[in-house]
Structure 1
Amino acid sequence: MDVFSIILQILLGVGFLLFGMMKFGSKQMVENFKNYGYPNGFRILTGLVEIVAAALLIAGIWNEQLAAIGAFLAVATMIGAIFTHIKVKDKAKDMMMPLVLLVLSVVVLFSNYSFLLG
């Protein structure tokens, strides 16, 4: 694994950890999920998925299978976030963070998928 991949996994891991933790107590997140029309439990589930993705991305520095699984969770979560922003007709600027995280997660996923090939 090269230095770029390690740095990218650490940045994504820390980012998803912080965003995941925000889902548990941030008033802004509570309001956002309410505005999106999602139940409170879905906000908690999303936070848990983000924290698990973060842990897998960081552990993936030593195990590419874990990195790929974490990246897959991150990709799926960011696709959901983008569709949510589209659903509620948010401005494009509100979709930039999920879009950037999606692209970076795809890079990590494809740089660690070789374990699937055998």
Structure 2
Amino acid sequence: MNNIAFVIQLVLGVLFIGAGLIKCNPKKTSKNFERFGFPNWFKPVSGIIEIGSGILVLSGIVYPVAAAWGGSFILLTMLGAIYSQLKVGDSFREIVVPVFILGLSLLILILNWRYLFVF
């Protein structure tokens, strides 16, 4: 693994675990979930998916197959986030972070593509 992939996986893993933990906190309300029209039960589901994706990407530092799957899940999550933001009319300035994270997850997926279907 090269140093760039290591840093990207470390950042994405920590970022997604942190974001997922916030979504799993029932005391935290999310205006974005309401704005996007998602039901309340989807918030912890989204959080669990993000935590799992973050753990996979971090595990991928040692096990490339985990990086491939984690990158795939993050990519799909970001596609959903971008779609949701476009649906409600957010500007590109508001969507730039999910687009950037999508790019990073795509890079991780490309670097680990050959491991995607290795079990």
Letter in 2 for 1:57: V
CA contact (8 A) 1:64 1:113 kept: no
Name 1:55's counterpart in structure 2: 55
Pairwise CA RMSD: 1.4
Matched, 1:73 2:73: yes
CA contact (8 A) 2:74 2:105 kept: yes
Matched, 1:115 2:111: no
Name 1:15's counterpart in structure 2: 15
Name 2:39's counterpart in structure 1: 39
Change (3 A) 1:51 1:103: same
Structure 1 segments (4+ residues) deviating >6 Å: none
The alpha-carbon deviation at position 33 of structure 1 amounts to: 0.1
TM-score by length of 2: 0.91
The alpha-carbon deviation at position 24 of structure 1 amounts to: 2.3
Q: 2:41 & 2:105 partners in 1: Cα distance? A: 25
Name 2:91's counterpart in structure 1: 91
Q: Which consecutive unaligned segments of at least 5 residues does structure 1 have?
A: none
Change (3 A) 1:100 1:93: same
Q: Which consecutive unaligned segments of at least 5 residues does structure 2 have?
A: none
Q: 1:87 & 1:12 partners in 2: Cα distance? A: 25
Change (3 A) 1:37 1:117: closer
CA contact (8 A) 2:60 2:66 kept: yes
The alpha-carbon deviation at position 110 of structure 1 amounts to: 0.5
- Identity rate, percent: 33
